[in-house]
Amino acid sequence: MADKRTTADEVAAELKDGMTIGIGGWGSRRKPMALVRAILRTPVKDLTVVSYGGPDVGLLCAAGKVKRVVFGFVTLDSIPYDPWFGRARETGAIEVTEYDEGMFGTALSAAMQRLPFLPTRAGLGSEVMRANPGLRTVRSPYDDAEELVAVPAQRLDVALVHLNRADARGNAQYLGPDPYFDDLFALAADRCFVSVEKVVETAELTAGGSVQSLLLTRGAVDGVVAAPRGAHFTTAVPDYGRDERFQRHYAACAKDLDAWPGFVDRFLSGGDEQYLSEVDKFEAEAA
Amino acid sequence: MNVTRAEIAVVAVAELFRGDGEIVASPMGFIPQLGAKLARLTFEPDLLMSDGEAYLMTTGGVVEGWQPFRRMLDTIVPHGRRHVVMGANQIDRYGNQNISAIGDHARPKKQLLGVRGAPGNTVNHRTSYWVPRHSTRVFVDAVDVVSGVGYDSAAKAGPSAEKYHDVHRVVSNLGVFDFATPDHAMRAVSLHPGVTPDEVTATTTFAVDLSTVETSREPTAEELRLIREVLDPKSLRDKEVPA
């Protein structure tokens, strides 16, 4: 049987210029930040990033990796706006496909089901229809004759998600209150890589949570990365909550172009060991 | 009774939910949350409310249901038994709302949140808005990015956009407004005690119908007790709406 364990850098090395990558989580919640940082260390560029956006989108914009963002929002939750995403938009550095939050999920659902589109009411009458001139409506063939938005399938070359536990074969589990849309990302993608807080024996998965917490089956997973604190500084409850102090530091540095190179040097220029040890030092300094 | 403007606003938000029955109340922001909780503790005991994350909670703080984001977007919103109170960076006379970006969408002067769930909310179920600082910057002739769909935009988009469209009211620090005029233009329902029509005219870019305006009601003694002693003993409401 396949042992799918790999590393963040090996996952990042799979990405090619111009790929469409989906990033799981939601805002500043259970984002695969270790995988995102690994992308920052590669030369890959011109990515289309599909995300319920948070600091994942901000960091990729900061590093000039992004050609287009497909999104319904970009927020740090406890801080309303991500400064790097804002800068990328306001300087015209990126293109966007902006959807309603529900349409975004509909686009992934269509891809997951190998359908060309799915109908929805969300989007009608809003900027979404004007800002995305390729969007079409579809008319019901039944008596109601309703005209609805035909949300095109959002296929992904690669999906990156972070969960709490997995076994080496790729059965993966969330232990917090919300699965977000990580299973949709996985099934809408040609390949899915999952990072987890801890790789455990298969039997430990159901010992640690209900069977309903097994969000991804191994049939949908191509690689498993052991990445303790791999969602930092976003939340990965119950393993840990959001590191609000660090997130404020990120946002403050991201706002200030003079401060940003120092943040990159300290936290983003080495590997994950350096990142986590600098985060620990940052915590100790602040305490 | 020595009632503050913030307390009047909380009661005005609570009144948005009167008659809603057993639906999901989704108040975004602190004063909307106080208002929805007040409604549930008094005249709308059957409202469903989340903890802002994935749990539906009773007034006693007991988990009574699971409502993760995906269930919200796949089921609760399109199913329609919901009343959301959203914020608004801009709102126009026909109830179009913007939380996405200021300026041209292709290259905004200021990127905000993005449209979030506003397009889906407004074409699927009752939507109200909360504006803590009523000003000409918020109440504009035309919003830069239509996130929440107003009456003219819904009409232009056709019957499927209008079928469940229901922009109910706007509550601001100055008063309560609706769109119940023949052309669905914004109309003052009530002004908070001490607010003059001139104040509204001066802080709203477009003309507001002030012909049938009343005075927003004051909280009852029991409502005041709930606001001051149970829901917001630290008076955080005054930070959003100064006395």
How high is the mean pLDDT in each 10-residue block of chain B (243 residues)?
93 98 97 98 98 95 97 97 98 98 97 98 98 98 98 98 98 98 97 97 97 96 98 97 86
Partner residue opposite A102 with nearest CB, options B77, B105, B106 = B77
A244-255 and A272-286 are packed helices; what angle lies between their axes, rounded to 10 degrees? 100
Taking CA atoms, what residue in B is nearest to A76? B113
Rounded to a whole number, what is the distance in Å from the CA of A281 to chain B's nearest CA? 31
Confidence (pLDDT) at A287: 81
Q: Chain A, 82-111: which have a CB under 8 Å from a chain B CB?
A: 85-86, 89-90, 92, 98-103, 105
Other C-beta atoms closer than 10 Å to the C-beta of A227 total 26
Residues 6+ apart with CB under 8 A from A204: A165, A167
Q: Which amino acid would we find at residue A61?
A: C
Residue B130 DSSP SS3: strand
pLDDT of B87-123, one tens digit each? 999 999 999 999 999 999 999 999 999 999 999 999 9
Confidence (pLDDT) at B1: 61
Q: How far is CA A124 from CA A93, A147, A148, A150, A205, in A?
A: 28, 9, 7, 10, 43
Confidence (pLDDT) at B18: 98
Mean pLDDT of A120-132: 97
Taking CA atoms, what residue in B is nearest to A83? B111
Q: Chain B, 52-71: which have a CB under 8 Å from a chain A CB?
A: 53-55, 66, 68-70
Rounded to a whole number, what is the distance in Å from the CA of B29 to chain A's nearest CA? 12
- Residue A8 tokens, joined: 């963040």
A181 contacts chain B (CB < 8 A): yes
Mean pLDDT of A215-235: 98
- Cβ A124–B149 below 8 Å, yes or no? yes
* Spatial distance between the Cα atoms of B123 and B13, rounded to a whole number of angstroms: 21
Confidence (pLDDT) at B11: 98
pTM summary value: 0.97
Residue A1 has pLDDT above 80, yes or no: no
pLDDT of A171-210, one tens digit each? 999 999 999 999 999 999 999 999 999 999 999 999 999 9
pLDDT of A41-80, one tens digit each? 999 999 999 999 999 999 999 999 999 999 999 999 999 9
Confidence (pLDDT) at A263: 98
Partner residue opposite B105 with nearest CB, options A74, A123, A131 = A131
Kindly list the residues from chain A whose CB atom is less than 8 angstroms away from the CB atom of residue B53: 177-178
Q: Chain B, 3-32: which have a CB under 8 Å from a chain A CB?
A: none
What confidence category does residue A90 fall into, taking pLDDT thresholds of 50, 70 and 90?
A: very high
CB pairs under 8 A between A and B: 149
How big is the CA angle at A79 (ends B33 and A33), to the nearest 5 degrees?
120
Q: How far is CA A67 from CA A21, A41, A61, B132, in A?
A: 11, 17, 9, 37
